Amino acid sequence: MPLPPLPPLPVTTVGSLPRSPELLRALKARRRGDLDRAGFDAVADAAVRDAVALQTAAGIDIVTDGEQRRDNFYSFVAEKLDGVRAMTLAEMLDHVEDKAGFERLLATLDVPAYAITNPTCVGPLARREPLAADELAFVRGLTDAPVKVPLPGPYLLTRAMWVPELTGRVYADKEALAEDVVALLRAEAEALAAGGAAVVQFDEPVLSELVFGRGQTRTFMCAALAARSDPEEELAFAVDLINRVAADLPVRTALHVCRGNWSRDERTLLSGGYAPLQPTFDALAVDELVLEYATPRAGAVVDPGAKALGLGVVNPRTDEIEAVDDIVARIRTALDVVPLDRLSINPDCGFGTFALRPMNDGARVDGKLRAMVAAARVVRDDPVG
């Protein structure tokens, strides 16, 4: 299906932006039960207006709502679905299979277990309200710009939700749970398409851990709870789920895969090029791959084949704003592999993947967004240099 028209070399984000102190206070008050939904929405609506204004002023072509309403990129679904409970990792420690490995992970990343919530499946899944269609409607009321909506991918969500001790009482196995996850996400993506989303992006960061993670420190909290099984089987399982959600949707689809975005300590993040994931990428029925290329950890640019590539050109986890010339050089290098009309520009990951653990502040985010926009303009005018 033809992709919706976008400007050449569109600049976008991976989704999340840091939350304001007021919003964080509201998020925590809501979690404690001290703030009702209407009270939270009032604070969050204002935050989304600011997030969209920041992107618009910076010249971002495809905007998001900054994931302002979400506590993190996947556990937010707990509030929208029946059968899912948001549990902090502190509450879940009793259920973690590999406790020693989990403790190593927490220590390496210097994180308290209370800081992360996981959407744990504790009953039959049912959609109580839209996961993101209302977020989209609100943003579309603020701007005429194309809007991207990130959703957790079906593999990530299945793996995070499946906690054998609790979920096993409801679903026979992970595969049975995945059936309902696929149906939910497919319905949501169709609603987003109908609601006028320009791009629906599925976040599947854990894919990289399957191929890069062996022998390296585990880097994804969201996968820490499931024992690792055979990577080849897991990848095939993941591809099947993603394709059943994303294939032939009447909207441009993207898949984001990175190597972790929890810590500013680069040593805690996975490293290595995406080449080991190339067969997986080739098998995916999505229009675009959104990948990180701003650090040397990421290796050479993969050939996305007929797909478009979202090229990560700024590191969300550093203080310094990338030089426009350096970004231009990165984009031109990528043009050796991907034609201009299939390339878009983005940061390596979100700036606030976890609300309570933002990777940067507003001023630096603004600087990095503007650097991307300036670089894209240079390359649009002069692709070769």
Partner 1 sequence: MQDVTHAWTVRVRADGPDDATAHARRHVLRLGAAAGFDAEAPLPSAVEALLAALGADLLSTFAATARRARLPHDALEAVLRCTLDNPLVHLGVIGETGSPRIAAIDGTFYVSSDAGTDDIERIWTLTRARSPLYTTLERSVALAVRLCPTP
Q: Which residues bind Zn ion (CB under 5 A)?
A: 258, 261, 349
Q: Does residue 359 touch partner 1 according to CB under 8 A? A: no
Which of partner 1, Zn ion, none has residue 113 at its interface (CB below 5 to 8 Å by kind)?
Answer: partner 1
The 3 state secondary structure assigned to 24-92 is HHHHHHHHHCCCCHHHHHHHHHHHHHHHHHHHHHHCCCEECCCCCCCCECCHHHHHCEEEEEEEEHHHH
Residue 112 vs 124, nearer CB to partner 1:
112
Would you say 30 or 330 has its CB closer to partner 1? 30
106 contributes a contact to partner 1 by CB under 8 A:
yes
**Is residue 86 part of the contact set for partner 1 (CB under 8 A)?**
no
User: Closer CB to partner 1, residue 23 or residue 189?
Assistant: 23
Which CB atom, from 139 or from 349, has the smaller least distance to Zn ion? 349
Q: Is 214 in the site for partner 1 (CB under 8 A)?
A: no
Q: Which partner from the list partner 1, Zn ion, none does 375 bind, CB cut-off 5 to 8 Å by kind?
A: none
DSSP string, 243-281: HHHHTT-SSEEEEEE-S--S-S-GGGS--S-SGGGHHHH
- Does position 385 bind partner 1 by CB under 8 A? no
Binding residues for partner 1 restricted to 254-313, rule: CB under 8 A: none
- The C-alpha atoms of residue 82 and residue 123 are separated, in whole angstroms, by 7
- Of 38 and 100, which CB lies nearer to partner 1 in the complex structure? 100
Which residues lie below 8 Å from residue 225, measured CB to CB, with a gap of 6+? 92, 95, 96, 97, 102, 118, 159, 160, 162, 163
Minimum CB separation from Zn ion for residue 62, in Å?
Answer: 17
State the Cα angle at 118 between 79 and 183, rounded to 5°: 60
Tell which one of 115, 223, 239, 286 touches partner 1 (CB under 8 A). 115
Q: 240 in helix, strand or coil? A: helix
Cβ-based nearer residue to partner 1, 186 or 357: 357
**Contact at 8 Å (CB) between 253 and 200?**
yes
Rounded to whole angstroms, the Cα distance separating 217 from 229 reads: 16
Tell me which of Zn ion, partner 1, none is bound by residue 356, counting a contact when its beta carbon lies within the kind-specific cut-off of 5 to 8 angstroms.
partner 1
Binding mask 9-48 for partner 1 (x = CB under 8 A): ------------x--xx--x---x----------------
